[in-house]
Amino acid sequence: MVEALDGDIEEFRQLWVAVRDAHDQHNQTTNVVSSAIDSINTPRNLHYEPPSAVVIDYDTDLSETFPVYSKSINITHGDLSHLNVKVAELSQERDDLAAQLQTATTTVADAHAKIEHLQRVLRDIWPIAGHSLLGHAGHVTSVEFSPDGRLLVTAGEDGTVRMWDPTTRQPIGDPLTSHDGAVVGVRFSPDGRLLASASWDGTARLWNPTTRKPIGGSLKGHAGAVTEVEFSPDGRLLVTAGEDGTVRMWDPTTRQPIGAPLTSHNGGITGVRFSPDGRLLVTAGEDGIMRMWDPTTRQPIGGPLASHTGPIVGVRISPDGRLLVTASEDGTVRIWDPDTRRPIGDPLTSETDAFLGISNFFDSRLLATAGWDGTVQLWDLATCQSIGVPLTVHGRPIFAVALSPDGQLLATVGWDGTARVWPSPHL
């Protein structure tokens, strides 16, 4: 079974490379077509400069043939011959460009047909390449790879946290069961020694991923569901976010709260992330607003940033700290400059009606979004372009998506009660 799956995955990767190459060929030949069309349609400068060695004398025959111009220009038979050569050269160039245009047009059509064929094949093989992880009873709401990529963690509506080997797709140990409500967020500490979970029961918990045992009691403080958890880059802070619109900071060692909660959102908070250097904390909420904070002073940095017309479902910061990305139920992804606090370019849009999840970055340029329509879309943020077509992976809404640290695997969880692991289609 495993050998057959590996064969399907390798076939899938080869097909994806073929699609990518076909896209590149399509773009290159399209540029050739555009250049050829521009060259043909651009009026030629037919200004004639007679050779300096030629003496221009009045020619009676030509003046009678061209009486309109005979008073303003003297043309000799030698000049006319030179002009004919120029016209012939331009005509030949035009014919060459027309032939180039015809060839490039045919190439574009062939490349486009190849792309459509390969994309149809990809849609057929994608469900085979993936593998369902079964165990949760109800919707699966969150997914996370460990920092070393050796563990995959899922959380569900059934109140459990489950661990998996992402290579064998097999469960590791029994599920973690200490919450009294749906678990909607999981997050590893940077060193991988702690796992935090957030639950609708109004608590967050810390776990030892090795022993799969809870560490101490639950963290209580929110008035309502806890929606997100996040560790600072140095692991010394744990941040929880809640449906009550507040963000709270904790010492993960003592499990005690630090300072007063951060309160500026109107509605539940759906995303929270630290910058790689730990100097910036970003929060996003159901109110469609993003805010930036100084985690040391716990004071806001500037005013609210509003550009989405619907709830924000997630926020991510690139590993190099240069890009900040938000995804929303309004069907857009927006890229921001964390330093200037201004958006970069136009929003990214996909065929999906609404985004429900956004993955971590890979290599500071690649991430994935999950949609209400059951599709995953990969994005290259260096070019602000989507990669390939949206891929249908569940058939029902996808709540969360994650990329493995090495970029080899993509994990999705959703409405259908399954988690799935796929070969990352950017390879």
Q: Are 181 and 199 in contact (CB under 8 A)?
A: yes
What was the pLDDT predicted at 27?
63
Q: Are 337 and 316 in contact (CB under 8 A)?
A: no
What was the pLDDT predicted at 135?
86
What was the pLDDT predicted at 71?
39
**Run of H or E residues at 242:** strand 238-242
What was the pLDDT predicted at 205?
97
Q: How far is CA 79 from CA 52, 55, 63, 71, 85, in A?
A: 11, 10, 14, 17, 10
The dihedrals phi and psi of 312, each to the nearest 5 degrees, come to: -85, 135
What was the pLDDT predicted at 273?
96
What was the pLDDT predicted at 80?
54
What was the pLDDT predicted at 52?
42
The candidate with the shortest Cα–Cα distance to 26, out of 98, 104, 123, 103, is 104
pTM here is 0.70
CATH for 131-423, among 3.90.550.10, 3.60.21.10, 1.10.20.140, 2.130.10.10?
A: 2.130.10.10
What was the pLDDT predicted at 4?
45
- 3-class SS of residue 123: helix
What was the pLDDT predicted at 269?
94
Domain boundaries, the chain: 2-129, 131-423
What was the pLDDT predicted at 167?
87
Per-residue confidence in pLDDT tens, the chain, 427 aa = 444 444 555 555 566 566 556 656 666 666 665 665 555 555 444 444 444 433 334 344 444 444 443 334 444 555 556 656 666 666 676 677 667 767 766 776 766 666 666 555 555 544 444 567 888 989 999 999 999 999 999 999 999 999 999 888 899 999 999 899 999 999 999 999 999 999 999 999 999 999 999 999 999 999 999 999 999 999 999 999 999 999 999 999 999 999 999 998 999 999 999 999 999 999 999 999 999 999 999 999 999 998 898 999 899 999 999 999 999 888 888 999 999 999 998 888 876 667 777 777 777 778 888 888 888 888 888 888 888 777 777 778 889 989 899 888 889 999 988 898 887 765 4
Q: What one-character-per-residue DSSP string does 292-318 give?
A: EEETTTTEE-SS-EE--SS-EEEEEE-
- Scan for tokens 């924000």, then name that residue: 312
